[in-house]
Amino acid sequence: MKQWHMVLLAAKLSGQGTEVIKNLVLVDVTPLSLGINLVGDITYVVVPRNTPIPVEKEHVFRTSVDFQKEVKFKIYEGERVQRKDKNLLGQFVLHGIHPAPKGETKITVTFKIDSNGILHVSAEESISGEKNQITLINREGRLSKEEIDRMVNEAQRCRMEDEQFKEKILAKNSLEDCAYRVRKLVKDDEVISKVPSGYLKYLSEAVNKTINWLRHDVPMDVDVYNSKKDELKEMSSTLSEMSQYGAAKRPKFLQ
């Protein structure tokens, strides 16, 4: 049984007494959203549910750790937020990517579904040009209509729960990104030449403490992540002002 859903498009109604559908067009669509794994047990949807096929969509991702040399991509289908609630279709590894600080290396991921319903997923790293891909036949590892309906209904019932989980993970990821940006700023040669070593040490310790705290992977409320992020942003702002205006912008404990 072909797993792609069929929908009616461009149907014109005419006739006298009994309406007759003319100019009927049948179009295949994706029965479930298709996406790829992100940090924190969530996925990014590249091709939304009910997208007409054939289709080709792409998204640019960035490395999630410092000096990353390979990335494992997992392709999922489903409407829930967490990976455990989705159907894993396949996976592949992109080797030989350009090692750089977290977030600096870009990888373009492309989802392409042809007219036969075959899914092609590729990943290409922008600097090295390294590329890898996987092809998934629409019958391999796919779900039955009953399973698809169950997943859609379950997603509707759990929408609020999923949104809360997603919001929490995104807040955590945002805090981590902020911490790495500040750490990079602290190590900048120009900043080091203009800012007192005492404040650089103070800020570096705060950043490392935040990163180590995040690595314990203890779930926290969104407000906790946002509060810690605001603290780092405030310290980072002070650092930028000090590097630009000098001693006049030193925090009180350094004056």
Q: Is residue 19 part of a domain?
A: no
Query: Would you list the DSSP string of 31-64?
Result: SS-EEEE-TTSBEEEEE-TT-BSSEEEEEEEE-S
107/148 same-domain check: yes
141/167 same-domain check: no
Does 1 score more than 70 pLDDT?
A: no
Does 41 score more than 90 pLDDT?
A: no
Question: CATH number, domain at 219?
Answer: 1.20.1270.10
pLDDT tens digits, 79-115: 999 999 999 999 999 999 999 998 899 999 999 999 8
Q: Distance of CA 109 to CAs 6, 71, 119, 154, 251, Å?
A: 27, 12, 13, 28, 44
pLDDT tens digits, 106-163: 999 999 999 888 999 999 998 989 999 999 886 555 688 899 999 999 999 999 999 9
76/138 same-domain check: yes
For residues 198 and 203, give the distance between their C-alpha atoms in angstroms, rounded to a whole number.
9
Number of domains in the chain: 2
Last residue of a domain, one of 157, 178, 193: 157
Dihedral angle computed from the Cα positions of residues 44, 50, 55 and 61, in that order, rounded to the nearest 10 degrees? -10
Q: Which domain holds residue 112?
A: 31-157
CB atoms within 10 A of CB 121: 24
Last residue of a domain, one of 134, 157, 180: 157
Q: Is residue 22 part of a domain?
A: no
Q: Is residue 101 part of a domain?
A: yes
Does 255 score more than 50 pLDDT?
A: no
Last residue of a domain, one of 130, 157, 184: 157
Which pLDDT value is given to residue 139? 57
Q: Is residue 10 part of a domain?
A: no
Q: What integer is the mean pLDDT of 32-39?
A: 92
Q: Is residue 73 part of a domain?
A: yes
191/220 same-domain check: yes
153/42 same-domain check: yes
49/114 same-domain check: yes
Tokens 């007409």, residue located: 52
Q: Is residue 24 part of a domain?
A: no
Q: Is residue 3 part of a domain?
A: no
Q: Is residue 5 part of a domain?
A: no
DSSP-based three-state secondary structure for 105: coil
For residues 37 and 167, give the distance between their C-alpha atoms in angstroms, rounded to a whole number.
16
pLDDT tens digits, 45-92: 999 999 999 999 999 999 988 899 999 999 999 999 999 999 999 999
